[in-house]
A = this chain, B = another copy of it.
Amino acid sequence: MEVTVASPTQQELQQIVDDIAGRFVLETERGAVADYIPELAKVDINQFGMAIVPIHGDPVQAGDANTRFSIQSISKVFTLTLALKKVGVNLWRRVGREPSGNPFNSIVQLEYEHGVPRNPFINAGAIVVADVILARQTAGEAISEIVGFMRSLAHDDTVDVDVEVARSEARTGFRNFALGNFMRAEGNLDHAVEEVLEVYFNQCAIAMDCCQLARAGCYLADAGNNGAHEHSVITPARSRRINALMLTCGHYDASGEFAFRVGIPGKSGVGGGILGIVPGVAAVTAWCPGLDDKGNSVLASRAFEELVRRTGWSVFGPLPGALD
């Protein structure tokens, strides 16, 4: 098998952004900004950016690629990486690796499966991952460790938590408190629920722009190496496995849909961002704050579809061509 796939040029990426933006001109077509967290509800829906960081070659960007947004659940990819570095395969005693089915069932399954969340990307699973990171340190130290990890991956020391968003989440995150207490009752949290959620709310409130986030995610495209092979973040095998989890579980109850329509590992957040991984090729970020009813960005999803249509970057058939 010999395949040569060229990464889009700056101009080609701009075309994709213009094309998608042109198809969704009306605000009403762009979905709705997340409103359950007051701070997120203030974000202007008329923003849209993309960035590609290829393993080989120069990064390209288009649109609002330098505007920071709340990465929210995309942070779960990075805390999972950290937790695997800390406890390795022992993590899988406390969290599963299976898709979770529809949202209605999430709490049912948690109860049916005795407090072991189905995967590390549903909230319950990410809360367990935060509990792992909290071991032998304070919540403040754990948050610093996560932020430091993001800065190192993004090669940018300005990456930080948006404190207003973090506070906003803590004040309204009753459902996460419910999940945390339920898992504590089942013995699957080692620390006080309040502390674990302090870590969790802060990791979700990290603000980054498309360029930073694509750079940070690049190790997953490059077999665990970040920064042009300068250093290994994680082993190739673990890198593959995180990609597998992103593909099967990365988009809430629309994970199958993203795999079906786009065909690359991806993780979305309710801030409107999506991080996509093209194994062996590049990390990609798209962002627009408007969400569909499953909580995934409308324009970012479409942008990925269009990108893969033009490049053939689907892992399910490497030849470019129409997706339909």
Contacts and interface: CB of A to CB of B under 8 A. Distances in A.
Contacts of A243: 316-317
Given A184-B174, A237-B324, A315-B315, A97 B257 contact: yes
A253 B2 CA distance: 35
A7 B261 CA distance: 29
Interface residues of A, number: 70
Interface string A225-255: 0000000000111011101110111000111
A101 B101 contact: yes
Contacts of A236: 317, 319, 321-322
B104 A112 contact: yes
Contact of A260 (B112, B181, B244, B260): B244
Given A177-B193, A185-B175, A113 B108 contact: no
A102 interface: yes
Contacts of A3: 1-3, 280
A101 B102 contact: yes
A249 B240 contact: no
A248 B279 contact: no
A107 interface: yes
A28 interface: no
A100 B248 CA distance: 11
Q: What is the total number of copies of this protein in its complex?
A: 4
A240 B317 contact: yes
B279 A316 contact: yes
A102 to B, nearest CB: 6
Nearest to A189: B174
A8 interface: no
A36 to B, nearest CB: 9
A4 interface: yes
Nearest to A221: B317
A40 B17 CA distance: 55
A179 interface: yes
Contacts of A99: 98-101, 248, 255-256
Contact of A109 (B102, B223, B265): B102
A282 to B, nearest CB: 9
A293 to B, nearest CB: 14
A304 interface: no
8 contacts: A1-B3, A2-B2, A98-B253, A98-B257, A223-B321, A237-B323, A244-B260, A244-B263
Interface of A: 1-5, 56, 96-102, 104-105, 107-109, 111-113, 118-119, 174-175, 177-182, 184-185, 193, 223, 235-237, 239-241, 243-245, 247-249, 253-257, 259-261, 263, 265, 279-281, 314-319, 321-324
3 tightest A-B CB contacts, nearest first = A101-B101, A99-B99, A174-B185
Given A240-B323, A265-B316, 20 more contacts: A1-B4, A1-B56, A2-B2, A97-B257, A98-B99, A99-B99, A101-B105, A102-B118, A104-B111, A105-B108, A107-B111, A178-B180, A237-B322, A240-B316, A244-B259, A247-B259, A247-B316, A248-B260, A279-B318, A315-B315
